[in-house]
Structure 1
Amino acid sequence: MQPADLLKQIEFIKEVDKLKYILRKTKLINSDRNENDAEHSWHLSLMAIVLAGHANFPIDLLRVIKMLLIHDIVEIDAGDTFIYDTQKDHSNTEEERKAANRIFGLLPDEQAGELIAIWEEFELGQTNEAKFARAMDRLEPLLQNTSNNGGTWNEFGINYEKVYNKKQIIQQGSDSIWQYAEQLINESVEKGILRK
């Protein structure tokens, strides 16, 4: 590595500090404070470490952690899109692509290329690692909403069908975690914190 590479890496590190200011709709577990993207990424990474044994297939855990730590960095420019948003699709948009190129482009070329490839892999959701990472990304808000008496489900009028359809992706990464998640969703209906 050259001294110029270090300066680029430091610029990237300073830039991604902005992730701490991007607020998500979901609130922390048993809290009324909104989670920020940096907290979300950290939490998902730790979840992946703890829950990796439940993956449907062998995974490269380090690659999963990299995905989880960087998957929302594009939201520095593109903003957070609420998973149940009816106006804006919660998928890889041109806006997010521009953000990925700008932010990861602060790094030396080789690192920039690696992180963009990992970000794209997560977005496509086709590899074993991406499937498991996406399972973590869908599980965490479920845990938050069930701990907060319906949280954003009640705040934004989200019903069982929408939650079930969005959370079903968990099964691609882990059958056992999906069974747990499905039980939580059904219990939420029984408790009256998720409307049918």
Structure 2
Amino acid sequence: MNLTDLAKQMAFIHEIDKLKYIQRKTRLFNSERHENDAEHSWHLAMMAMVLAEHANEKVDIMKVVKMLLIHDIVEIDSGDIFLYDSQANHDNTAEEQKAAVRIFGLLPDQQAEEFISLWEEFEAGITAESKFAKSIDRLEPVLQNVSNEGGTWSEYEVKYDTVIKKTSKMKDGSQVLWDHTNYLFEESISRGILKKD
């Protein structure tokens, strides 16, 4: 047993507990309580396993799950950026890259390299696995907002065009989930919980 590696792994495990304190704007289904990043990541991993058959391409589901479990760990340092924020860009930033190096760098070298590589692959959104993972990441807030009578769409006056712009890449990972999401959008418009200009 390599005790140095174990000590590094334990330091990482302690560090990522902080993810439970990063609050998101979205609320749990049918709830007033905001979810945290750890809950979000767990839910996405479960959704990916359940919905894997709907990926556009055959995917390595274990790799997808790993991506979803680690994709927001950088927010321990950089904080959560609201998907529909009109000021901040939700894409990869230098701050997030720095956070990835610091946090994953707590691990033994081989694990650190694997986690950074997975995080970068997710951010790039080019592989079948990262496209499907990103589809799942975009689907969950839609489901939350629908369950909460508009949720953040209503609270922050987010319009249909903005929602479409932020979610349309879902179709790159799963046309089936994108079609279902469009059905939810139309239903939300008819219920008055998503506004068209």
Bucket of the pairwise TM-score, normalised by the shorter protein: over 0.9
Unmatched 5+ stretches in structure 1: none
After the TM superposition, which of the residue ranges 62-71 and 1-10 deviates more from structure 2? 1-10
% identical aligned pairs = 60
1:73 matched residue in structure 2: 73
Verify: 1:170 aligned to 2:165, yes or no.
no
CA distance, structure 2, for counterparts of residue 141 and residue 84 of structure 1: 11
Q: How does 1:1-196 map to 2 (within 5 A)?
A: 2-196=2-196
Distance 1:11 1:118 in 2: 20
Q: What SS is found at the alignment partner of 1:58? A: coil
What is the distance in 1 between the residues matched to 2:72 and 2:79?
A: 9
RMSD, aligned CA: 0.6
1:106-139 Cα deviation digits (max 9, x unpaired): 0001100000000000000000000000000000
CA deviation profile, 1:154-185 (whole Å, cap 9, x unmatched):
11110000111111111111111111001101
Q: Name the CA distance, whole Å, in 1 between partners of 2:84 and 2:193.
A: 17
Q: Which runs of 5+ in 2 are unaligned?
A: none
Matched residue SS, 1:69:
helix
| TM-score between both structures, scaled by the size of structure 1 | 0.99
Cα distance, 1:63 vs structure 2: 0.3
SS for the counterpart of 2:26 is strand
Shift of 1:4: 0.3
TM-score computed with the length of structure 2 as normaliser: 0.98
Give the C-alpha shift of residue 152 in structure 1: 0.3
Which secondary structure state, in structure 1, belongs to the residue aligned with residue 112 of structure 2?
A: helix
Paired with 2:49 and 2:94, the residues of 1 have a C-alpha distance of 31
Q: What SS class does the counterpart of residue 126 from structure 1 fall into? A: coil
Q: Distance in 1 between matches of 2:68 and 2:167?
A: 17
For 2:87 and 2:159, the matched residues in 1 are separated by 17
CA distance in 2, matches of 1:78, 1:44: 20
- Taking the aligned partners of 2:87 and 2:50, their CA distance within structure 1 comes to 35
How many pairs align?
196
* Segments ≥4 residues shifted beyond 4 Å: none
- Could you tell me which amino acid in structure 2 is paired with residue 145 of structure 1? N
Which AA in structure 1 matches 2:157?
A: G
